[in-house]
Amino acid sequence: MMERSDIIIANLTPFGGASADAGTLIEVGWFPGRGSRSSATRTHRENFEARMRRQLGAGYAELGIEGFHLPDNLMIVGAVHGGGYPIFVPADDTARCNDALDVFEACAEAAGRYAATRSGG
C-alpha cells in the first residue's frame, strides 16, 4: 500500500524518548526518495532540543545536539519539509497527548489538497 501512495500522514509525537517512533521515521525518510510526500503531525509543541535536554540532563552538552529549535531532528524536519509541508503542531504550549484533533485536521486538510491536485480535482 505504501508503494502505491502519493502521500502519508505521519504522527511524529515523541514515542519512548525525545523523538518519534523509529519505524515511522523510516517511512518519513523513505517517501521523498520515491517521489511521494510526507505530511506530519505532532501533539506536543516542545521542540526537539528541549526534549533532548530534559531526557539527557547534564549529558546533553556532550552530544552536541543541534540547537535549531525545530520540532524534531533536523533530518526528519528536512524530509517532511522537502515534500512541501510543515510539521503541524499545536498552536499553544500545552502538551495535549492524543487530544490534538485540530492539529491532525489541519494536516489531513493539507494532504487532501495535495491529493486533489494529483487526481485533477
Determine the pLDDT at residue 97.
57
Determine the pLDDT at residue 121.
56
Element (H, E) at 87: strand 87-88
Determine the pLDDT at residue 34.
62
Buried b (16+ CB within 10 A) or exposed e, 7-43: bbebbbbbeeebbbbeebbeebbebbeeebbbbbbbb
Determine the pLDDT at residue 68.
73
Determine the pLDDT at residue 74.
75
- Average pLDDT for consecutive 10-residue bins of the chain (121 residues)? 78 80 81 67 78 76 65 77 77 64 86 78 56
Determine the pLDDT at residue 117.
80
